[in-house]
Amino acid sequence: MDSYLITGGAGYIGSHLVERLINKKKKVIVYDNLSTGSMLLLKKKVKFIKGDINNYKKLSQVLIKHKINTIFHFAAAINVAEAEINKKKYYKNNINGTKNLIKAINVSKLKVKNIIFASSCTVYGGAKNSITEESKIKPAGYYGYTKAISEKNIINFSNSIGCNYAILRYFNVAGASNSGNIGEINSKNGHLFKNIAIQSHKKIRKVYINGKNFKTRDGTCVRDYIHVVDLTDIHLKVLSYLNKKNKSLILNCGYGRGYSVLEIVNQASKIISNLYILFTKKRIGDVNSAFCSNKKIKKILNWKPKNNNIKLMLTSAINWEKKLFNLKQK
């Protein structure tokens, strides 16, 4: 039986994958230091190990004990703006953390079949037109740089040991599970949909938009948003592809359409009453526009998104936030 290690599995995206794998009766080991994740997002039946990605000795012991043959690597610091002012933290968690995972695999001497890495569209920087997997790697900020370096390290290592890899370059992830059981916990990452959803249970509802002088149609930055449920489907399809085809992959994960931040907030104002829009200064590292071409992922995986709807993403995020707020009140 295959055994899956999910680093950062108690986080936003990782926990959605854990839920799906558990529902499929798979053997799942979650490895997370809970710095931004939460046990609230995990089912009781999940095998959870509290540990840091930089502790390669503990990681190697986990790999050996549970005979891991597939690794989903989510563990990372992910705040784009914070990365510019705390590069030491992002080097340690993202670049060095990935190096330590590689070191742990080497120490374990296990035959790992697949490594699936949660990368980011930030490796490209910005672009006026849709971004393909062949677009130039040119990070606009330090967070994107840490992901680009980690990609290279995983690719080189995987090739050296004959392991399959998948580099998944996420565009902007939003929404919450259809079950209503899991969603985004951490409010410090600057994610737009999370920030909007938080306002739903407040008396005075304010949404801050970072910058209004981007070179875009309405002055706010343009992003490609993907529902977390569709992103989870991609991971499952990628896993199946790697096992069947025994070929590695680099894929963009997005819907292929860019929405401005103001367009998203205006849509949210139709769901949340009395939502005030306030503009603040542009964040360091933010680019004008970033949206993908998803032709490759649709062709190779026969991926058909089921939740490509901004209202649905907003509603699921808001419903999750209400549930989370009620849990905190108990």
Active site residue 143: yes
Token pair of 142 as six digits: 């330090």
Please pick, among 143, 165, 170, 241, the residue that the annotation labels catalytic.
143
Amino acid 297 reads: I
Structural contact between residues 70 and 4, judged by C-beta atoms closer than 8 angstroms: yes
Count CA within 13 A, CB hemisphere, residue 106: 11
Place of tokens 């190779």: 300
DSSP 8: T
Which CA distances in Å does 66 have to 48, 99, 207? Answer: 12, 21, 45
Structural contact between residues 165 and 155, judged by C-beta atoms closer than 8 angstroms: yes
Query: Cα(243)–Cα(319) distance, rounded to whole angstroms?
Result: 36
Residue 30, strand partner residues: 6, 48
Instruction: For residue 237, count CB atoms less than 10 angstroms from its CB and return exposed for 0-12, middle for 13-18, buried for 19 or more.
Output: middle
Query: Cα(25)–Cα(21) distance, rounded to whole angstroms?
Result: 6
Q: Decide: helix, strand or coil at residue 68.
A: coil
Q: Decide: helix, strand or coil at residue 235.
A: helix
Q: Strands, DSSP E only, in 121-185?
A: 164-170, 172-174
Q: Decide: helix, strand or coil at residue 78.
A: coil
Q: Which H/E stretch holds residue 276?
A: strand 275-280
Query: Cα(269)–Cα(265) distance, rounded to whole angstroms?
Result: 6
Instruction: For residue 109, count CB atoms less than 10 angstroms from its CB and return exposed for 0-12, middle for 13-18, buried for 19 or more.
Output: exposed
The set of catalytic residues is 143
